[in-house]
Chains A and B, each alone.
Chain A
Amino acid sequence: MTMTSTDLGRCFPELTRHMSPEQLSILFGYLEATTFKAGERIITDGEPCSTMYLVAKGRLSVLIKINQEALTLGTVGPGAWVGEIGLIDPGPACATVEAVEDTVLLSMSADALTNLVANHPIIASLMLQKLLKELASRLRASDKLLLDVVTGDEQEPAVSLPKRRWVRLLAKQLTGARGN
């Protein structure tokens, strides 16, 4: 699958909203297309991560480990992305991400973002604004779930959901996993 900057705008309308064809073409130059086979791992929970991956084709699963058991949080498909926290603030990954089927990803490294900010601040700003809104929305949703515990009675936590479901919902917000 050969990607073009036009495909970038078509596949990721939210991320590239308000960008002109010329700006899309510039942004496309800061992305690298990579193919992963079904079952291949892209990000490992707890390992250093400083790259965001945009899903152009295929599907990824997002999972975390509870003790030795893997809990699948959801899958992400074309138009979605993973790894944006590592792009903005490089550090340990919050989840493991694997290809469920043959997948084409467009990756942006933290170094590429630094260069984009320096060379094309308006394009960087348009992209960051979308990422900011999404992070803010996930933080508020996580806040709400954590509120159940933090403001609960100490002897009897006010967790209104069964613990496993609560863990799954919170982890989905923290990792950005969508779907079921």
Chain B
Amino acid sequence: MTSLMEFFQTIPEFAEFSQSELSALDKAFRVETYPVDHVFMRYGEHPDALYLILGGEIHIKRRRQHKAGYALVTTLHSGEMFGLLSLIDNAKRSATAVGATEAKVATLPQSAFELLLDTHAPIALHFQGLVARQLARDLRRYDEALRAVLRSGDVNEISSTLA
């Protein structure tokens, strides 16, 4: 059993996948360790992969409107995925993802993702469920951030709630 297979079994999101489905995913993902500050994806780029964090932390950032540099939107940890949204609607990246620490990340190239969906129907359905739950949780997280603004009356509260 590879380390990625073991890791899948610790993540609730993959609980619905069978051993043979996890094995297919294991073959499709590419696992590497990246240095701090490695840029996984950039705002505005066309999507080419989705990512699963196996270790370390990733910063999701946005370009500032009126100042140079980027603003931190949120920090992702081991077991979380990013880059999902663009693979669903094929739109350009809405954020930049950068290694906040050295990070071990499994990358699923878009071509491998599409091949999996075409050749393993049950994987496609499980992925739909997994992505739907992730999007629903993101909408809830934004809702919590909005509530924080409404409670405090301070729009800057959004940044601290999301980060």
Contacts and interface: CB of A to CB of B under 8 A. Distances in A.
B52 interface: no
Interface in A68-107: 84-85, 88-89, 91-92, 94
B122 interface: yes
Interface stretch (B3-11, B20-28, B34-42, B128-136): B128-136
A135 B146 contact: no
A174 B142 contact: yes
B15 interface: no
A33 interface: no
A119 interface: no
Given A151-B65, A153-B66, A129 B136 contact: no
B125 A125 contact: yes
B139 A149 contact: no
Interface in B55-69: 62-67
A131 B140 contact: no
B139 A132 contact: no
Interface stretch (A1-9, A19-27, A34-42, A163-171): A163-171
B100 interface: no
A143 B43 CA distance: 13
Contacts of A133: 88-89
A150 B158 contact: yes
A135 B133 CA distance: 10
Contacts of A128: 125, 128-129, 132
A66 B152 CA distance: 11
Interface residues of A, number: 46
A139 B85 contact: yes
A89 B71 CA distance: 29
A147 B62 contact: yes
B24 to A, nearest CB: 17
B73 interface: yes
A143 B94 contact: yes
Contacts of A148: 65
A13 B129 CA distance: 22
A132 B132 contact: yes
B139 A124 contact: no
Contact of B66 (A66, A135, A152, A167): A152
Interface string A157-179: 11100010011001100110000
B143 interface: yes
Given A88-B132, A135-B135, A140 B91 contact: yes
Given A89-B133, A121-B121, A150-B71, 10 more contacts: A85-B140, A89-B132, A135-B139, A137-B89, A138-B139, A139-B138, A142-B139, A149-B156, A150-B158, A151-B64
Interface of A: 66-67, 84-85, 88-89, 91-92, 94, 117, 121-122, 124-125, 128-129, 131-133, 135-140, 142-143, 146-154, 157-159, 163, 166-167, 170-171, 174-175
Interface of B: 62-67, 71, 73, 85, 88-89, 91, 94-95, 121-122, 124-125, 128-129, 131-133, 135-140, 142-143, 145-146, 149-150, 155-156, 158-159, 162
A-B complex: 4 closest residue pairs judged by Cβ atoms: A89-B136, A135-B135, A149-B158, A85-B136
